[in-house]
Amino acid sequence: MTSQAFRTLIVTTAAVAALSVAACSKKTDEANTAAAEANTAAAAANTAQDAAATAANAAADASAAAAAAPPVEGNMTSESSTTTTTTTVGNAH
């Protein structure tokens, strides 16, 4: 090979390598961005899950407190009474 052909081959190889590195790094950046967005979404889901657990615990505490509290005077109670009425139909002899 001549010196000129060898130089051309080296420059061409270097250019192809540079393009390959540039192309791969762009995909890496996109992958890193996607991974960062996924991590953000996971963190938001964890926050929502923690909030839901806190709300459930608060509801359970409120329910337990309501069950343990004595009835307040003057409140309506659920007493029921039953009245039976008998009706006779027809001639009474």
Model confidence, pTM: 0.44
Tell me the torsion sign for CA atoms 11, 14, 19, 20. positive
Any idea which residue has 């953000």 for tokens? Answer: 40
Please tell me which residue, 3 or 86, carries the higher pLDDT value: 3
Distances (CA, A) of 61 to 3, 48, 57, 67: 86, 20, 6, 10
Give the integer Cα–Cα distance in Å for 88 and 86.
7
Instruction: Return the structure tokens found at 85.
Output: 């009425």
Where are the domains positioned within the chain?
1-63
Q: What is the pLDDT of residues 22-62, one digit of tens each?
A: 777 767 778 888 888 898 898 888 889 889 989 999 999 99
